[in-house]
Every structure is written in structure tokens, then in C-alpha cells.
Amino acid sequence: VPESVAHPAECHQMNVEGTRRVLLAASQAGAARFVLASSCAIYGNDPVMPKTESLSPAPASPYAESKLAGEQLCADSSLPAVALRFFNVYGPRQDPSGPYAAAVPRFLDAAREGAPLTIHGDGKQTRDFVYVDDVTAALAHAAFHPELQGVYNVASGHSTSILELAQTIQSIAHSSSPICHAPARPADVRFSSASIERLRATGWHPRFSLSEGLCRLLSTR
């Protein structure tokens, strides 16, 4: 999200024009169905919790706006399409460095190295962390169930503060790394909690709790 604030044109080119081109290519290739990887960022800072798909979008960053535009492209396409709004996905092979680094890989690497776990802001901001295996299962589920239409949240259904995440990683990694705080990042959503009842009603459900996912991830790093 912060990277999209710094480079909004590049974000639009990648997520909007990229989606347009892939939709066109899929249609020309005779694809039966299109599944879009969208984002919970679309909900913005709407205080209503948990986030349900019926909430009006309130994008608060160029990234969120680009994802909402991608959903509209899917809705306008003649190709049957469904959009999955991913919440905070984590799993193996996430890069802990660079402008797109997420909290989980950064904290895990720091905990293993004995380095500080740096939280942007006060740590009370919440996220719904979902393990990548549950996300890939949702993608396959959406691809092979043509009755799925519109948008669906993909999450664990449980909200965790960033401070709680850091403390959980400290415990699982048996780390003595300190927790420290840095300034909050621009355009970051304050609170996020997902309702997954709409997708659950179609037969998908998350298999991994946050602790289970983190333990699996730690064993691969």
C-alpha cells in the first residue's frame, strides 16, 4: 500500500491495465472462467466489523482503487468471473526485505536473527492473517465451482493485532528479540476483520489457525 502512494501510476498500470489485458487474453483463448486476486484494501477504514462483501467500497490508497477497478473490469466482462478479496496472506517464500515486505516474514527473520521486531505504529492495528494453502484452496474452489459469482472474502475469520502477531512469533520461535516501534505508514488501514460466511457457505473453509500456519512456516525457513 505505501508503495502505491509513492508510485500511483505504476500501480494503476500493473493492476488495472494488467487485469484488462489478462481478461482479454483469457477471453480470446476460450477460457471458461476468470478468477481475480483482489484485496481487502477495498474496504478502507470503514469502521464496520467484520467486513462483509455487502459493504460499500471505501478505498483509501491507489492500490485499493486499482483493485476495485479490477473487480469492475471483471463485472463488465463477458467472460464469467469471480473476485476473491484476499486479506493478509502469509506463507513460504515471502521476501522479508524490500518495499512490499509483509509483517510475518519480517518478524520471522528478525526473531531468528535476534534482531528487533519493528512495528509501524502502536501495534494495536489489526489484521486477518490467512495461510497461503487456504488461499490456493479458495482459488481452486472458485475456479471449479461456476455457481460462485461476484466477490468473496478469503481470510481466516479471526482478527489479530500486529503486537499480538509479534508476540506469537516471539513465542513460537523461542526468540528473545525485543519489540520496538517505528512511525506509522501512510495509508495503512487501522483495523481489519473479515466475515468469511459467504464463501464458507459454498463449501470452502480455512484449515490453518495463525499458530498452525506460523509453525509450518517456521519449519520451512
For residue 24, the domain's CATH number is: 3.40.50.720
Span 107-146, pLDDT tens digits: 999 999 999 999 999 999 999 999 999 999 999 999 999 9
- Check if 63 is active-site: yes
Determine the structural domain holding residue 213 and report its residue range: 2-220
Q: Is the pLDDT of residue 162 over 90?
A: yes
pLDDT category of residue 76 using cuts at 50, 70 and 90: very high
Residue 2: the pLDDT is: 74
**pTM of the predicted model, to two decimals?**
0.94
Show the cell assigned to 100: 512490499
d(CA 58, CA 75): 18
Q: Which of 63, 90, 131, 152 is catalytic?
A: 63
Report the DSSP beta bridge partners of residue 4: none
Q: Where does the chain have alpha helices with state H? A: 2-6, 8-12, 18-28, 62-76, 103-113, 132-143, 162-172, 197-200, 210-220
d(CA 140, CA 172): 30
Q: Is the pLDDT of residue 21 over 70?
A: yes
Q: Report the relative pairing of strands 129-131 and 88-90 from DSSP bridges.
A: parallel
d(CA 133, CA 210): 12
Question: What's the number of domains the chain is made of?
Answer: 1
Span 33-48, pLDDT tens digits: 999 999 999 999 899 9
Show the cell assigned to 198: 459467504
Q: Is the pLDDT of residue 106 over 80?
A: yes
Report the DSSP beta bridge partners of residue 82: 35, 150
